[in-house]
Amino acid sequence: MPSDPDTSPGFLAAPTRFLFFTGKGGVGKTSLSTATAIVLADAGRRVLLVSTDAASNLDEMLGVPLSNEPVAVPGVPGLSVLNIDPDAAAETYRQRVLAQLEADATDDERANVREQLSGACTTEIAAFDEFAALLANQGGAAASAWDHVIFDTAPTGHTLRLLSLPKAWSGFLAGNDRGASCLGPHSGLKMQESRFNAALAALADPALTTVVLVTRADASAVHEAARTAGELRALGLRNQRLAINGVFHASHPDDPVAAAIEALGREAIAKMPDVLARLPRDEVPLRPFDTVGLPALRALLGGGPIPPLVPDTAPRVTLPAEPLGRLADELAAMGHGLIMVMGKGGVGKTTIAAALAVGLVQRGHSVHLTTTDPAAHVASTLDGTLEGLRVGRIDPAAETRAYIDRIMATRGKSLDAAGRALLLEDLQSPCTEEVAVFHAFSRVVNEARSAFVVLDTAPTGHSLLLMDATGAYHRQMTRGGAANVANIVTPLMRLQDATMTRVILVTLPEVTPVSQAAALQDDLRRARIEPWAWVINRSVAATGTTDPLLRARLVGELRQTARIADGLARRTYVLPWLPEPPVGVQALGALVEPSPPRS
């Protein structure tokens, strides 16, 4: 079948050296960035595809092992892929800081510095250091070796944090050569200042950098893209384009499911905020295949033959999963505890968390629903109040301000003016946010000892950084002898306690979200946290659609559902695709109505 040239997006016409693909989780950033890299390499360019996502699945899509050094992609001459591995970057950073210690430093002093450098903030800045080296044309994988460097970024909140780091650290380091931060001696950080400034300049140069805001034809994703566009402009990244991925056109207008999906998409595009409507726009149609493997990735942007539709042999099946109301029933039987809803960005964690919170209230419990997600959509998803339901948010900025005020009022109380000034200067470090957010998280975990707390977590990579901080605190608190730690109960220990915490993994019935949920499950198990259940969200399998494209995609859905049921999940629950997004207390409550007794 011939290729589809009409789908070639405008950002491929005259691409800048640096291309950033960013947006809400689940909108297809990895698919579009990878397909773009392949198109450019097929045209004879030297291309480096870089993932800044701690939960990247580029290895699965391209069939190559990821490394923190460029790896050539077989079958695509000129294309290499690099994954900024946060753990490897952090270890390299620790070694560099340790090398700055005096030669006569004791083993205990070195061990103490290593422990100080074990937190999520060190991981974050170390990963950024690798990222900045590419932008500043420094380091082993210098940008000069490539015609194009394409960044497949983490979900929006984490990416905004990453892109704000050059300005945050450059401001912190300006005129500051005293003391030490959680990243080591400031004198050591000073050597990174020129790199940070060069990275910031490259990001802001429209001749060098283009930001591709990726969204779906979905109201929440469009509004997230609009918010991101404004925040990136404030950071100086003004050369932006909009890519609307997965645009669906119904083949059977009389199919109510297909008609509803198309109508919702048209409405989201028609009502997009002006900040997006003014941008150059590309639309990529929904494809009937998963974007895994080179043929599918080449076909995504019209660079290769489009595979024919899979014959419509998908059976009408009963999914091996229980309804969401059954999950609410079983959680309510706990009486109290922490319900952590986790998963890849864009899979519907906020909807599931809000629905479970409403369901627990329906069953007679008081509930605190809160979130660690920088995007924080909980309030808009509830769109109302419910007696017995308290809604909160772990707001990094507010928590950081409160933490600084608390430290200044306690540790700073007995210091003289110079000492207070030095303490406040040190607290202005961007990594103070890590400590403040962890303390807020710890309070939420502790609250669940006597009540229900439903926690809507940030997308996978950001949540893993929080888990790293939790683990670092646990190691610090339990380093003493048995007599000192016998009565200590850390937040990590409460997360490991299955009578206290139930982790719910949310996924879509697609290969990438399922693979990333499985990887997250492996990470949690290494921390001795056992996920309790999986929720498959937005299942089309039970809708009875007759649309050929949707039916073709249904084959892949059933394959992933079977994969989950055949060993990944101990308990599986399902929420079908709904023609109207479940927004508001009443709509959420309808998702978790008490289930009839099993026959």
For 96-125, the pLDDT digits (tens) are 777 766 677 777 777 766 666 665 556 666
Provide the token pair at 364.
């007679």
Asked if 249 and 377 sit in the same domain, the reply is: no
- The reply to whether 230 falls in a domain is yes
Are residues 337 and 451 in contact, defined by beta-carbon separation less than 8 angstroms? no
Asked if 36 and 177 sit in the same domain, the reply is: yes
- Does residue 24 have an active-site annotation? no
- Which residues have C-beta within 8 Å of that of residue 82, sequence separation ≥ 6? 48, 49, 50, 51, 66, 67, 68, 69, 70, 71, 141
For position 25, which CATH number holds? 3.40.50.300
Are residues 237 and 47 in contact, defined by beta-carbon separation less than 8 angstroms? no
Segment 464-490 shows an average pLDDT of 53
Of 7, 22, 31, 156, the active-site residue reads 31
Of 26, 345, 346, 556, the active-site residue reads 26
Asked if 280 and 131 sit in the same domain, the reply is: yes
Asked if 161 and 201 sit in the same domain, the reply is: yes
Q: DSSP letter at 251? A: S
What is the pLDDT at residue 178? 46
pTM confidence score = 0.70
Provide the token pair at 536.
């498959």
- The reply to whether 436 falls in a domain is no
What is the four-CA torsion angle of 411, 169, 121, 463, rounded to 10 degrees? 120
- The reply to whether 425 falls in a domain is no
Are residues 62 and 467 in contact, defined by beta-carbon separation less than 8 angstroms? no
Segment 308-313 shows an average pLDDT of 53
Domain count, the chain: 2
- Which residues have C-beta within 8 Å of that of residue 323, sequence separation ≥ 6? 573, 574, 575, 595
Q: How confident is the model at residue 281 (pLDDT cuts 50, 70, 90)?
A: very high
Give residue-wise pLDDT tens across range 253-277.
Answer: 788 888 888 998 999 999 999 999 9
Ramachandran bin of 306, using left for φ above 0, alpha for ψ from -120 to 50, beta for the remaining angles: beta
Directed axis angle between helix 86-98 and helix 120-135, to 10°?
90
Of 22, 23, 25, 29, the active-site residue reads 29
Q: Which residue type does 559 have?
A: R
* pLDDT above 50: residue 594: yes
Report the C-alpha gap between 42 and 39 in whole angstroms.
5
Of 123, 372, 512, 515, the active-site residue reads 512
- The reply to whether 407 falls in a domain is no
Of 7, 30, 52, 470, the active-site residue reads 30
Q: What is the CA radius of gyration of the chain?
A: 24
Give the sign of the dihedral formed by CA 479, CA 480, CA 481, CA 482: negative
Residue 569's closest CA among 327, 399, 350, 229? 327
Segment 133-161 shows an average pLDDT of 70
How many other C-beta atoms lie within 10 A of the C-beta of residue 527?
A: 16
Give residue-wise pLDDT tens across range 416-425.
Answer: 888 888 888 7
Looking at 413-479, list the stretches that DSSP marks H as alpha helix, in order from N- to C-terminal side: 417-427, 432-447, 460-477
- Which residues have C-beta within 8 Å of that of residue 325, sequence separation ≥ 6? 359, 591, 592, 593, 594, 595
Of 24, 33, 53, 572, the active-site residue reads 53
Asked if 264 and 329 sit in the same domain, the reply is: no
* pLDDT above 60: residue 170: no
What is the pLDDT at residue 467? 56
Tokens 């070639």 belong to 8
Asked if 105 and 217 sit in the same domain, the reply is: yes
In terms of average pLDDT, the best of 219-228, 274-283, 313-322 is: 274-283
- Which residues have C-beta within 8 Å of that of residue 39, sequence separation ≥ 6? 8, 12, 298, 301, 303
Provide the token pair at 355.
């629905």
What is the pLDDT at residue 4? 46
Are residues 517 and 344 in contact, defined by beta-carbon separation less than 8 angstroms? yes
Provide the token pair at 343.
């998963």
Asked if 188 and 147 sit in the same domain, the reply is: yes
Tokens 């200590």 belong to 488
Asked if 291 and 326 sit in the same domain, the reply is: no
What is the pLDDT at residue 481? 47
Residue 155's closest CA among 344, 325, 378, 351? 344
Asked if 23 and 135 sit in the same domain, the reply is: yes
Are residues 514 and 563 in contact, defined by beta-carbon separation less than 8 angstroms? yes
> Which is more confident, 127 or 170?
127
What does the longest C-alpha to C-alpha distance in the chain come to? 79
* pLDDT above 70: residue 63: yes
The values of phi and psi at residue 79, to 5°, are -105, 130
* pLDDT above 50: residue 382: yes
Average pLDDT, the chain: 79
Q: What is the distance, to the nearest Å, from the Cα of residue 357 to the centroid of all Cα atoms in its chain?
A: 22
- Does residue 351 have an active-site annotation? no
- Which residues have C-beta within 8 Å of that of residue 336, sequence separation ≥ 6? 365, 448, 449, 450, 451, 452
- Does residue 26 have an active-site annotation? yes
Of 23, 25, 28, 337, the active-site residue reads 28
Compute the C-alpha angle 483/484/488, nearest 5°. Answer: 115
| Residue ranges making up the domain that contains 244 | 5-9+18-300
Asked if 41 and 119 sit in the same domain, the reply is: yes
Provide the token pair at 197.
């400034």
- The reply to whether 152 falls in a domain is yes
Report the C-alpha gap between 143 and 13 in whole angstroms.
21
In terms of average pLDDT, the best of 332-336, 418-422, 565-569 is: 332-336
- Does residue 30 have an active-site annotation? yes
- The reply to whether 25 falls in a domain is yes
Q: How confident is the model at residue 510 (pLDDT cuts 50, 70, 90)?
A: confident
Provide the token pair at 470.
């939790």
Asked if 264 and 331 sit in the same domain, the reply is: no
Asked if 194 and 337 sit in the same domain, the reply is: no
- Does residue 53 have an active-site annotation? yes
